[in-house]
Amino acid sequence: MKKLLDEFKAFAFKGNVVDLAVAVILGGAFGKVVTAVVEIFLNPILEALPKTPEGGTGFVGSLISFAAVVVEFLLTALILFAIIKAMNKAKDLKKKEEEAPAEPTTKVCPFCQSEISIKATRCPNCTSELKD
């Protein structure tokens, strides 16, 4: 049971699951913003169309309603793409900072070209005295 719990903890707190949760929350929030933009700017266009005798706007109104939904989807996708791209870039910058190059621990003997400790003053292979 402990092994199963440890596996679940490793899965749940893995970066991908947290990223997914953040994306879902942001998607919901930006979905509301995009819906508001569509209602403010595209719905007045629909309301300005001439009405049919049944009270609808006809085929053109249906096309505009569909276009409004497509625009809403594209705006939401674009915003989420920009956010995820920025998050990935920040994550890459953090990785680069963590992967700073380590100080060299060896050097090459100028006489015999063998690899030796950087602190060596004499080559253990050819016994030459090193000046650097």
Contacts of 73 (CB under 8 A, 6+ apart): none
What is 2-100's CATH number, 1.10.10, 1.10.1200, 3.30.750, 3.15.10? 1.10.1200
How far apart, in whole angstroms, are the C-alpha atoms of residue 125 and residue 123? Answer: 5
pLDDT of residue 101: 72
Contacts of 118 (CB under 8 A, 6+ apart): 104, 105, 106, 107
Are the beta carbons of 41 and 35 closer than 8 angstroms?
A: no
pLDDT of residue 51: 66
Q: Where are the domains of the chain?
A: 2-100, 102-132
* 87: confidence class by pLDDT, cuts 50, 70, 90: confident
pLDDT digits 0-9 by tens, 23-46: 787 777 777 877 787 778 777 776
